[in-house]
Structure 1
Amino acid sequence: MTPVRPDLDPELRALLGDMPLRSDLDAEALAQIRPFSSMPVEPLLAGRAVERREVTVPAADGARIPLSVFSPAGTDSSTGAPCVYWMHGGGMVMGDRFSQIDIPLEWLDLFGAVVISVDYRLAPEATGTTPVDDCYQGLLWISEHADELGMDPARIVVAGASAGGGLAAGVTLMARDRGAPAIAAQVLICPMLDHRNITTSSHQYSGTPGVWTREMNEFGWRSVLGGIEDERVPGYVSPAVADDLSGLPTTYVDAGSAEVFRDEDVDYATRIWAAGGQAELHIWAGGFHGFDALYPRAAVSAGARRTRNDWLTRVLTPAPTGGAGKDTLSA
């Protein structure tokens, strides 16, 4: 019996009708999809006043991890711009550092942020903690080279979409537990957080073609876990199983109502609140997985991006200082 599901947003449903969809994923299909899982970055940079730099940093095992650094052109490197550290989506099995890069590049435009995107190693070739370790090593390098990059190490925002959102959550847990680097905020966009695949929403989006289904999710997690027994899966890899969500930076979580990750994302925000932390949660009615990345001009997508940008504006804007505000409050 087909499970009852929230309806798709009508505009998104019409747009999705032109997209080839599938219900599952395997090694053969992955090999065919991978070459098309990212778009070239050059068209996105055309017309933007951006300086681009490519670097590689050492992974824990000595491998080299590529990072792309995008900085507003002509800015004073001594001013200490905010930094967005971006982790791409793709189920941890596909994509590269340019996947969904239009999202953080919008923050470069809006906030003058330095955007740095990491090419972590993909499963099934890289398993266990390797992808999240790669991301953490990139974060360490950014923090250590803040002056060179013209960024403020106290205003690093860790962000990602889908698998990248899960990796952003894992990196943030890792930085908290290791005491460095400092992270000002984390932005988790439809994050892939729970390897167990047991929520109501994961079962709702099973057995029929979609952008990301329960069966695809099972393949992605099976690929990255590489046979790790369920009870031994680290919270850095599957953040939903982390015992302690206290002491995290302010967090933004959003997802669609019509997607597989909806319930695990709601639960993660709820657990941050339960641990005394700050989280802002938005579930967009009728949104499927990755809706605002695939169709950014749809009305619900524009609303999701605008709301996310408004939150970042509040986070990145320094609190007012001086006596005027105090006098007003005490009058």
Structure 2
Amino acid sequence: MSRLDLIDPESRTPLDALLGMLPGGFNAIPDIVQRRATVQGMMAALDVPDNPNVTKEDRTVPGPDGEPDIMLRIYRPVGASGTLPGIYYIHGGGMILGDVDGEDANATMICDQVGAVVVSVEYRLAPEHPHPAPVEDCYAGLVWTAKNAADLGIDPGRLAIYGASAGGGLTIGTALLARDRGGPALTFMMPIYPMIDDRNETPSSHEITDVGIWDRAGNIEAWAWYLGGKDPDQYAAPTRAEDLSGLPPAFIDVGTVDLFRDEDIAFAQRLMQAGIPTELHVNPGSYHASETFAAEAALSRRIWARRIDALKRALA
């Protein structure tokens, strides 16, 4: 049986359409520049109307010491007064793709539905900028956000960090840096199907070879580019962290047809064993980022409803 047969039928329809246009999926494009342009073009083609309930502002802020400045996009609910909870948002893309624009719709939706200030970070990508550049950019943006909480209208006692896929791995890596450097206090972290294990040894990392959305070959390639020939540390591959104590309460979800399934379940178990309050959801029939590709599917609506509810509860 192909793993494709295990996908929720409603969620599979847009996947089949994507693979019809691009056989093999995005990773079938070997040149990373062309691959990025293809992804950006497909995202730009989506007709996402502006949300009148949210304002957006881009700011350039200091990056890591001795490194370039970074851009942050700040989302705020229209008409909100006083201080609001804050959500620091890290986009996905396997450490090699993606940008703030590509996840603008999700960041806007979270801002609107949670009633929070969302700060989305534009970090450098591999292979041009391997580890630790991406996680250091994310950490620098988090530090700036916390230092400027008053100006941003954020309650520093209600600051969460969110990211999916590579953004999920960077969410955990950034939280580890904040813990180890005595950095900003985080109320909550939401790493969504996080990319956290460079070893590609789990059963699910061997199962997912032909789905077309982040299959085994593409993951191996992305890790090689991200690590740049260096040995991984816990901030690059959080499964390698020996001590998970002191991290914020967590929410993790992943699909049964996602290459990251087993590493994410194991990591959630380790968080619980370390005494970290952790909510874990494994979504039957969901492939990697299916809630984005099949946004109208009932499964996708359930996935998003749980995330929004968890963010509201954590930041109440």
Normalising by structure 2, report the TM-score: 0.92
The code of the aligned residue for 2:77 comes to P
Aligned ranges 1:235-254 → 2 under 5 Å: 235-254=234-253
Aligned position for 2:212: 210
- 2:284 paired with 1:282: no
1:85 aligned onto 2:88: yes
Q: Which runs of 5+ in 1 are unaligned?
A: 318-331
Given candidates 70, 76, 95, the residue that maps to 1:71 is 76
Residues 50 and 243 of structure 1: is their aligned pair in 2 closer, same or farther, counting only changes over 3 Å? Answer: same
Deviation (angstroms), 1:13: 2.1
Is 1:222 paired with 2:224?
yes
Q: Is 2:3–2:211's contact at 8 Å kept on the other side of the alignment?
A: no
Which 4+ stretches in 1 moved above 4 angstroms?
A: 2-6, 40-45
Shift of 1:299: 0.8
Give the match for residue 30 of structure 1: 32
Structure 1 residue 281, shift from structure 2 partner: 0.4
- Counting aligned pairs with the same residue, the percent is 39
CA RMSD of aligned residues (A): 2.1
In the alignment, structure 1 residue 46 sits paired with structure 2 residue 67: no
Distance, in Å, in 2 between the alignment partners of 1:111 and 1:314 is: 10
Determine if contact 2:26/2:35 at 8 Å carries over to the other structure: no
What residue is the counterpart of 2:17 in the other structure?
18
Residue of structure 1 in register with 2:315 after alignment: 316
Q: Which amino acid aligns with 1:161?
A: A
SS in 2 for 1:11: helix
Q: Secondary structure at the match of 1:286?
A: strand
- Counterpart CA distance in 2 for 1:302 and 1:14 is 16
Q: Deviations over 1:12-67 (max 9, x none)?
A: 12332111242684884322121233435996562423222111122222301111
- Pick one of 60, 63, 79 that aligns with 1:59: 63
Q: Normalized against structure 1, the TM-score is what?
A: 0.88
Per-residue deviation, 1:89: 0.8
The residue number in structure 2 matching 1:9 is: 8
Question: Deviations along 1:244-278, whole A, 9 cap, x unmatched?
Answer: 11111110000110010000100110000111111
SS in 1 for 2:106: helix
Q: Gaps spanning 5+ residues in structure 2: where?
A: none
CA distance in 2, matches of 1:277, 1:63: 35
* Matching residue of 2:119: 116
Deviation at 1:297, TM superposition (A): 1.2
> For residue 327 of structure 1, what is the aligned residue in structure 2?
none
Equivalent position SS for 2:124: coil
Q: How far has the Cα of 1:97 moved from its partner?
A: 1.2
The answer to whether 1:151 aligns with 2:154 is yes
Q: Which amino acid aligns with 1:56?
A: T
